[in-house]
Chain A
Amino acid sequence: MTITAPAPVDPAELERSATDGLRSWHSVCSLDDLEPNWGEAALVEGRQIALFRLATDEVFAVEQRDPATEAHVMARGIVGSRGDRPTIASPLHKQVYDLRTGERLDGPGDALAAFEVRVVNGIVQVAA
């Protein structure tokens, strides 16, 4: 899920905003680094994350590991929709997951972990 936060004034402010209650926000890349509907892998605190920017500029983050095969490939799947839910399909065997919640949609099976995302001053931040 994307939260569009008011733009902090300076880098110091941005760093301070990284800790927000219990969550830690990590700056990952700029929004411009992401092409709409084209997933990218990212490393956040040593953990592999898959980032997706939709045509609406909403950004979603799920784990890069494919729950069905354990391969770290989810960023390379196809972005789509089921009804009004944005989805990602595993590039290996096409299991479909809800990008917002990580829930598996095409049948029973493990969910993907989903992370909160916000865009602050053009910077994509992930809570992990």
Chain B
Amino acid sequence: MSNPRQSTPATDSATPTADSAPAVRRVVVVGGGPAAHRFVEAMAARGLEGSGGFEVTVLTEEAHLPYDRVALSKALLSDVDLTLGEAEMWDTPGVTLKTGAKAVRLDSGARVVHTEDGGEHPYDELVLATGSSAARLPIAGADKSYVYRTLEDVWFLRAEIARLAEDLGRTPAVAVIGGGLLGIEAAAGAQSLGAEAAIIDGSPWPMNRQLDEGAGQALTRLIGAKGFTMHGGVFPSEIVADETGAVTGVLMADERVIPADLVVVAIGVRPRDELVRAAVDEAGAAGENGSATFEVGPRGGVVIDETCATGVDGVWAIGEVASFGGMCLGLVAPANTMAEIVADRLHGGEATFPGFDTATKLKLSGVDVASFGDAFAQEPGALEIVYADPARGVYQKVVTTDDARTLLGGIFVGDATPYLSLRPLLGRELPAEPGAFLSAAGGGDAPETELPDDAILCSCNNVAAGTLRDAVNACGTCEGKDPVQDVAGLKACTRAGTQCGSCVPMIKKLLEAELTKSGVTVSKALCEHISLSRQELFDAIRVLELTSFEDIMSRYGTGSGCDICKPTIASILASQHSAYVLDAGRGTLQDTNDRALANMQKDGTYSVVPRIPGGEITPEKLGVIAAVAQKYNLYTKITGGQRIDMFGARLEQLPEIWKELIDAGMESGQAYGKSLRTVKSCVGSTWCRYGQQDSVGMAIQLELRYRGLRSPHKLKLGVSGCARECAEARGKDVGVIATADGWNLYVGGNGGATPAHAQLLAKDLDDETLIKYIDRYFMYYIRTADRLQRTARWQEELDGGLEHVRQVVVEDSLGIAEDLEAAMAKHVDNYEDEWAATLADPERLRRFRSFVNAPDALDDSIVHVAERDQIRPATEREKVSLGASIPVRPSAAPSALSEGV
């Protein structure tokens, strides 16, 4: 995290100058949660310049950048980065984030916010986004309980459960008080950390604010099946401890004691309205009459109107602290909407808040729960169409108006599939009989429906179906006017599906429907010659053990192939058999670079890259590279992958050059292949005073293991010796970062046009497990990815995403781990250096000739000129001006400037 930039000193003149130019408007945001983040993003998107411009300062008491609380439970199991959006946003000129700055007093008369550190922050516009805090239980012993609200809370629970398991020598028991959404998530988290979890709730069934009794019964059933105990209908009266102060259980109102080693309270949130309450008290004490003041909501929070303005001029409130219609709500969608409204208003817009959208979906594997709209059918005359099967834990209900036509709400437990398509239709006419949407009733799938353009498909980010359609059909503003026709592109461009992710299947469906409509065949066919997808083709070739292009084409193809299917088949064959790529007719399938085992440059010459495993090289080998580059007059440059590239070699020179390199003990770096490139490393614990593990040793081991592995796209790895991450491993397909206890494994990063950070897959692994997981990850990718699909995109588009990858790689959920490892072992055993193999065979060498009828003649179209003491290709203009002095003798020796023999 970079240091937050400092804005102009807070004590600068608070009075706008009388200049004719409009003054900069100082916007201060109090709070650093998702609402604040969204507000700043919305301000930046609308522009901070213009009519004087804005200076936005965010004061947050937390030490982090704003992070995604919705995904908090992910942090229970691993060190995920939950930072919202791009950290770079905070570097936008005009935006300042002050972390560790707790606002303690608001002087709305003088328009100044005071922070605990004595700072004064004058404002023209103030946005209160203080959020809420976890509610505490008013019972004895409550001080011995913990809450589940911030990253620190989650980290503490992780450490505490591990400590208890160690100290007690048995499975710790965790009691979660509160059977709401958060309570169930916390219990599931505790269970996944190895604890036994029980849920205690005063109401008879869990999630009683979202679910009716039937749904509650079904959910109780599902929760029981997950292995939690549910204690409903009785309130807890005390948290009891032994004489050492260690918690032993929860005493219930009916005198039972539920044993527990750790108690987590998740009974809801209270708005953080203390600034506002203090300001109200101050105003009252000062006896100010008639001047506008804040109004505190009936359940706390500061009351806002539909423009998100509070009762005090220049003060707005957004998110969980904002009380609208008598309530504050702890959901991200309304917070986002409010943030957008204030940003719009500050930019002169007229947006208004339409009211809370209370739709809820529980994200817990195996427990599918969704509730939306008028779930309890409180609308007069509302009809409830219900299917209930308590034995299976399934409950589905659709609520409509009395004519059964307009959708008012619904509840789904056990099977929430219809929720996704129904949700955007809230308040609209249903396209079919309500009963048709009760999919569990045996009526088959819910009817396919076309969403109207103005229906909101992604409620977190308020994205309408029409916006997505515009992007697909290139009428939108995304990336110029180009159509955006894949899910990842749509997510990036419209932000739909980027928050809770529950609408992603709908986005996929809408995309496919649009493409079909516009005549684009939604086909996974590789090209006109092969109607299978790469994955299908890979499976077929693997299962039938096909080894030749002709066999494959005769079974699955038509025509002679092309520049798409031929290299794809060549790559699949190479991944499976590790055989020499230019033999047995496979040479004609290879793409440009593989054909010459070198990288073709713009003028038809090649670059040569020997492997330098882990970036470690002896002075002797550096000398060999220098000598070869000098002898053949090659341009040299250090690559991003910690090795040396030599440019300007002619096709026919490649064998001689490689002979010299191989004789000196080097081998092909395969920089030309869609294959493993390099394993970048920092110097690690051997030399570095911060290093925790031998990163160079691990990098070399990995590079030698995976060298030659051909894949759907190039593969890069990085190994860092400590968390400082000098090897930039998280920008690689596989990143390995040392910890005190072993290695953390990150997957799916890349640089390039669409950079992606690798995501944590598993942590604190020993060497053996690390390699086993990488084996499985790479082979699973090689078998199932599309052609030219990098790992980041692959794992994003897989059903189930990263979590699915984790299950396959770590838990072997598909039962294929052994097979994947065996395939990798075969690759490792069969590896041979392609260039050594080429030099050993005169037949193979024959391919490297300039002209079939004049193998000794040089290609005189290649002309190099000098620049910064090295060669570079001549431009067309330079060639023409040089042409006058170059004798046009095709078979003759090259001119002095054309590159040396």
Contacts and interface: CB of A to CB of B under 8 A. Distances in A.
Interface of A: 28-29, 33-38, 40-44, 46-48, 51, 54-55, 65, 69-73, 76-84, 86-87, 89, 91-92, 94, 96
Nearest to A34: B852
B596 interface: yes
B861 A92 contact: no
A80 B566 contact: yes
A78 B560 contact: no
Contacts of A94: 563
Interface string B562-602: 11001100000000000000000101110110011000101
Given A78-B567, A78-B591, A89-B563, A72 B891 contact: no
Contacts, number: 110
B604 interface: yes
Contacts of A82: 528, 559, 562
B238 to A, nearest CB: 74
B859 interface: yes
Contacts of B663: none
Contacts of A44: 853
Given A65-B861, A83-B559, 8 more contacts: A41-B859, A46-B891, A77-B563, A78-B566, A80-B529, A83-B528, A91-B595, A96-B562
A92 B560 contact: no
Contacts of A70: 861, 876
Interface in B595-617: 595-596, 600, 602-604
Contacts of A89: 562-563
A80 B595 CA distance: 15
Tell me the interface secondary structure of chain B in the complex: loop
Contact of A76 (B585, B600, B853, B861): B600
A35 B591 CA distance: 17
Contact of B853 (A43, A47, A72): A43
A70 B877 CA distance: 12
Given A38-B587, A38-B847, A78 B600 contact: no
A110 B853 CA distance: 28
A43 B563 contact: no
A72 B563 contact: no
B851 interface: yes
A36 B585 CA distance: 8
A41 B560 CA distance: 21
A38 B588 contact: yes
A79 B853 contact: no
A60 B602 CA distance: 25
Contact of B890 (A28, A43, A51, A91): A43
A71 B591 contact: no
Contacts of B119: none
A91 B592 CA distance: 5
Contact of A69 (B602, B854, B890): B602
Interface string B849-891: 1111110010101100000000000001000000000001111
Nearest to B892: A46
24 contacts: A33-B853, A34-B852, A36-B588, A40-B851, A42-B851, A47-B890, A55-B560, A65-B861, A72-B859, A73-B604, A76-B595, A78-B589, A78-B591, A79-B560, A79-B588, A80-B560, A80-B561, A81-B529, A82-B562, A83-B528, A89-B562, A91-B591, A91-B592, A96-B562
Contacts of A34: 852
Contacts of B587: 35, 38
A42 B853 CA distance: 6
Closest 9 A/B residue pairs (Cβ): A80-B562, A46-B890, A37-B588, A91-B592, A81-B560, A89-B563, A40-B852, A81-B559, A71-B604
A29 B851 CA distance: 10
